Amino acid sequence: MKPKIIIVILSLIVACFFLTSCGTDTTSTSTNYKQGTGNVILTTLSGYPSDTIYPNSEFKIVVKVDNQGAYKLNKGIIKILGFDEKYISLTESKKSITSLEGNTYLDGKSSTNPNGEFTFIEFGALAKNLFPGSESYSAPYFIKAEYEYQTDFSQTVCINTNLYEVQDSGCKVTTKTSFSGQGSPLAITEMEELISPGALASVDFRLTLKNAGKGKVKQVTLNKATLSNQPMKCIFNDNPGQKTNSYEFKDKEEVVILCKQNLDSQKASYSSVIYLDLSFNYILEESKTLTLKK
Amino acid sequence: MENSDNTESTEEKQAESKEEESEREENTKSKEKKQAESERKENRPNQKTSSFKANTYSQSRNIVNAFADPGLILALLGLLAFIYEYLGNNTLSLIVGIIFLFYSSIFIFKGQGFGITVAFCVWYIGYGGVITLPTSSNPLNILYTLAYTFGIPLLIGMVAHGLFGWLKKTETFTEGATNELVGLIPVLFFFLDLGLIPLLTTTYNLPLTSPIKELILFAPWWTFLGLFTIKKDNWIITFCKVLGVAYIALLLIGIPTTTYAEYKLTAPGTSQLLKAKAVVQQQLPKTENLAWSNLMCTFEDPSHFQSCVSQRQENSEIAYTCEKINGLTKGTSTYDDCIKKEQDKKKKAITIGGTTDPTIKQATEIKLETEDETKTLTAILRNNSDTSALKYPIQLKIKNPHKEKITVSITCEIEKGTEKIKGTISPKEAETGTGSFQDMTDTEINKNIVCIPNAVTLSEGTYTITYTANILNLVSTSRLTRAFIGQKNSTEKTELIKKIKSTYFASNNAISLSPNDPVRINFALGEPPSDPIIESEDNVLLRVDAEKTGEGELTKIISYSVDLNPIPTSNCFQGGETDYSSSKNTFISQTYPLASCFVNLPNELKMPTEEYVIKEFTAKLTYNYKIQKKMGVTVTIA
């Protein structure tokens, strides 16, 4: 009896081992890149510029632009600024961001390109003479990138205009939901749902749009807002006299988007998808220092 | 049996009689006590007087005895030496220091640690005590240097004492060696008194604050050692001890934490210490004693303590300038005018300071040096007209890192009391500033000079030979960085200013930077000139000053110029000669206002195409400078 049980257990273990080993890797297909706060990363290539620059010598500053977000980086410009021309002059201080293949965009992370796309932008520079008697000069500078980026928001919500119906066995309305981001520095971090029941039933959404990245949002445009593929009326809160579909961030770090949709009354609860498509101009800046030495 | 009974009874009787006797004695004693008590009660006033007399006597005896206490003797002598030095006499510092060092080692510490004291003196005075260590920016290395400096004599002393005790069989080797450590105390006080900290500030550039300098320089260290080692105790001594602690406490109030700059490590020699002490004492402005300012402000304005102290210090410095340097009488209108002028100068000086450029290690240096500063010179003349024996050479040392064309002319004078004798300088070209003394461009210039008195007769006594070197065409440059931000809205402006200040002006570089030359040119630009951020709407003011930071005198400003390219040139960007030879400029730090004018910004700076523009401007000063060197010579006629 006992040996039989042992054999059964052993064969089960072996079977489990084979079953798990032969299983397909589902992670690559199930990874959702449109989450978190995906950023574009600006760095200088190691050795360009080198730690020490000698006076009266030419050198290069090579900037690596790495799109670690989930969307396409478009119409990018990169600038080097902050050098005192007396010490360092650049052959060009501004360049367009082009991919290694020569495209005017950089792809974001996706299932076909899980590492995102990066490129190198090269700036020629000339180090000049030090101040008489001086042994070194510390030159702080900034690498500044300006580009167009995007945020897509898609979330399943429950719509229930008949709030007092006890018998409704459909979905349940969640009044407040938080999000970690949509793979972009500008993220919808919170959504509130408010349903007005009755004959003229409607649903209101309050969506908090927040700059969760290290840079600055210049202007955000709401390109599309739908609920169950039906256009939804949305406005940026506290945006008087401005276009309803665009908003200047200025010194603010977040803004609330108010969306409203009229609903059919006396309908049983149902799930629907709210979708927002936002595009914006983003400015990213990295502070660096190079040292001129005798 | 009976006998034995009898014996017992006799013993019992004897015991009884003893008991009775003791009882009687006790009774008598208690009676006497009671009697004494009643007598005491009756005669209380008289007895009180006598006990007071006894106490006073014993206290007076203590005070008298205390005078024989080596600690008190050191305290008093230390105080006298301190007052003597405070009045500006540094000549005896080394001798007095050595005397006190041995005195405290022998009399106060009873010879314990004497080995260390001797070893220290032999090594320090005999061998110069100079050890050079590699340059380091780590503050811990200062401690390492000190440990290393003291380490050698310490080890020799410990081994010697240990061996001596072991051979004499009075103590073990370890006990002897450990007891020897006491010798470190007088050595430490010797260093403190001689000016170790001033040396650290001048040679190692430790940025010690004025209160710390005052604490070290103007504290009677030997008096403190004496006071705290007095064996006898009475109220006067306790009071003096309290005063000593209070003095240090008052000086220490409000000392801010300091950061350490880069410095070189070289163990200090005697001449270095004395020089450094003299330099720092001169550098310190003649202000009210800090301890007194602190005390007064504790009562006057405790809520604004720091500003009160600074104000008192500044007021006293201004008063000193007007009263002592300009010779004005307090209460007169000219005195009041002087106070106003000096206050204005102070305000201006605060707004446009300059500082030493940390990236420039080599600055212009000018020195007149004798071979051994500590030696007293003696000249034995064959007769009173024999002046050949008075030819003591002096060395002119100039560091000219920028290879500027420097011309030097040297004069000398020999004086004794009111008797003043002109001297002739050899070589002759040194006197006229011609030949090899004209347009010198070497980075290091070393020249020997001799002074020959012109007089025919000399008498016995101490003469002072004064060498005066006039250095012509010295040049100092400085630079200033400014950020031009154009026109921005308030939000942008606030953020940008924050970013620029933290990136470009985080350290001390919002003011002009120049090498540590004896005189430098400070300039500032902006609204106010001290503000490094310039906006398009600013009324931009340029201010230019010359600042003397060396020990000598600024005799003339030959020219100055400010290069503000691309700002259009204005008349005040350059200036010609200004003679200061007749003005009194004895303070090391002195400011000479040169120019002040508004400038017009060109479009590229008014409305920069980029977010902001960083520009560095330069200024150049050409000046004449005078230094003096005095040396004492004792003349005896054979």
pLDDT of res. B203: 47
CB contact under 8 A, A135 and B402: no
Q: Tell me how crowded residue B305 is: count the other CB atoms within 10 A of its CB.
A: 15
**DSSP per-residue letters across A66-127:** EE-SSS-EEEEEEEEE---TTTEEES-SEEE---TTS-SEE----SS-TT-EEEEEEEEEEE
Q: What is the mean pLDDT of chain A?
A: 87
Q: What is the average per-residue pLDDT within A211-220?
A: 92
pLDDT of res. B43: 43
**DSSP per-residue letters across A29-67:** HH---S-B---EEEEEPTTSS-SEE-TTEEEEEEEEEEE
Nearest CA in chain B to A249: B491
Tokens of B344: 């204005």
pLDDT of res. A16: 47
Top-confidence residue, B320 or A56: A56
Q: Quick: pLDDT tens for A176-198.
A: 999 999 999 999 999 999 988 87
Q: From chain A, pick out residues whose CB is under 8 angstroms from the CB of B612.
A: 81-82
Q: How far apart are CA B219 and CA B78, in angstroms?
A: 10
Top-confidence residue, B100 or A6: B100
**Within a 13 Å sphere around the CA of A72, how many CA atoms are in the beta-carbon half?**
7
Q: Quick: pLDDT tens for B387-432.
A: 777 777 889 999 998 888 999 999 998 888 888 888 889 899 999 9
Q: What is the average per-residue pLDDT within B604-610?
A: 92
Q: From chain A, pick out residues whose CB is under 8 angstroms from the CB of B359.
A: 130-131, 134-137
Confidence class of residue B318 from pLDDT cuts 50, 70 and 90? confident
List C-alpha distances in Å: A110 to A33, A72, A153, A185. 6, 10, 16, 16
pLDDT of res. A57: 95
pLDDT of res. A274: 95
Q: Quick: pLDDT tens for A37-90.
A: 888 999 999 999 998 899 999 999 999 999 999 999 999 999 999 999 999 999
Confidence class of residue B83 from pLDDT cuts 50, 70 and 90? confident
Q: Which helix (H) or strand (E) holds B202?
A: helix B196-202
Q: How far apart are the two ends of chain B, measured CA to CA in Å?
A: 115
CB contact under 8 A, B359 and A87: no
pLDDT of res. B342: 76
**DSSP per-residue letters across B445-494:** EEEEEEEEE--S---SEEEEEEEEEEEEEEEEEEEEEEEEEES--HHHHH
List C-alpha distances in Å: B584 to B15, B101, B365, B517. 104, 40, 22, 20
Q: How far apart are CA A77 and CA A61, in angstroms?
A: 15
Q: Which residues of A lie inside 8 Å of B (Cβ-Cβ)? A: 79, 81-84, 86-87, 93, 130-137, 140, 142, 144, 250-251, 287
Q: How far apart are CA B581 and CA B624, in angstroms?
A: 9
CB contact under 8 A, A133 and B402: yes
Strand B533-535 with B461-486, pairing: parallel
Q: Which of B608, B612, B580 is nearest to B593 (CA)?
A: B580
Residue A84 has its nearest CB partner, among B401, B495, B615, at B615
Q: From chain B, pick out residues whose CB is under 8 angstroms from the CB of A84.
A: 481, 614-616
Q: Which of A285, A223, A220 is nearest to A40 (CA)?
A: A285
Q: What is the average per-residue pLDDT within A12-25?
A: 49
CA-based torsion, B595, B596, B602, B606: positive or negative: positive
Q: From chain B, pick out residues whose CB is under 8 angstroms from the CB of A284.
A: none
In angstroms, the separation between the Cα of residue A93 and the nearest Cα of chain B is: 10
In angstroms, the separation between the Cα of residue A62 and the nearest Cα of chain B is: 21
Report, in angstroms and rounded to the nearest whole number, the Rg of chain A calculated over CA atoms. 27
pLDDT at B90 exceeding the cut of 60? no
**DSSP per-residue letters across B120-161:** HHIIIIISTT--EEEEE--THHHHHHHHHHHHHHHHHHHHHH
Top-confidence residue, B12 or B502: B502
Q: Tell me how crowded residue A28 is: count the other CB atoms within 10 A of its CB.
A: 9
User: pTM value?
Assistant: 0.60
Confidence class of residue A135 from pLDDT cuts 50, 70 and 90? very high
What are the backbone angles phi and psi of residue A76, rounded to the nearest 5°? -85, 140
Using CB atoms within 10 A of its CB, is residue B353 exposed (0-12), middle (13-18) or buried (19+)? middle
Please tell me the least confidently modeled range out of B200-209, B376-385, B567-576.
B200-209
Tokens of A237: 């809160």
Q: Quick: pLDDT tens for B620-631.
A: 999 999 999 888
* Location of structure tokens 């030419």: A58
In angstroms, the separation between the Cα of residue A138 and the nearest Cα of chain B is: 9
Q: Quick: pLDDT tens for B1-58.
A: 333 344 344 444 454 455 555 555 555 555 455 454 544 444 444 444 444 444 544 5
Confidence class of residue B306 from pLDDT cuts 50, 70 and 90? low
**DSSP per-residue letters across A149-172:** EEEEEEEEEEE-S-TT-TT--S--
pLDDT at B475 exceeding the cut of 80? yes
Q: What is the average per-residue pLDDT within A233-241?
A: 83
Structural contact between residues A28 and A172, judged by C-beta atoms closer than 8 angstroms:
no
CB contact under 8 A, B504 and A135: no
Q: How far apart are CA B311 and CA B301, in angstroms?
A: 11
Q: Which helix (H) or strand (E) holds B46?
A: helix B44-67
Q: What is the average per-residue pLDDT within B537-554?
A: 88
Strand A73-81 with A136-159, pairing: antiparallel
Q: How much of chain B, in percent, has pLDDT values that exceed 90?
A: 20
B 598-637 → A contacts, CB under 8 A:
610-612, 614-616, 618
List C-alpha distances in Å: B328 to B322, B332, B336, B342, B343. 6, 8, 9, 13, 16
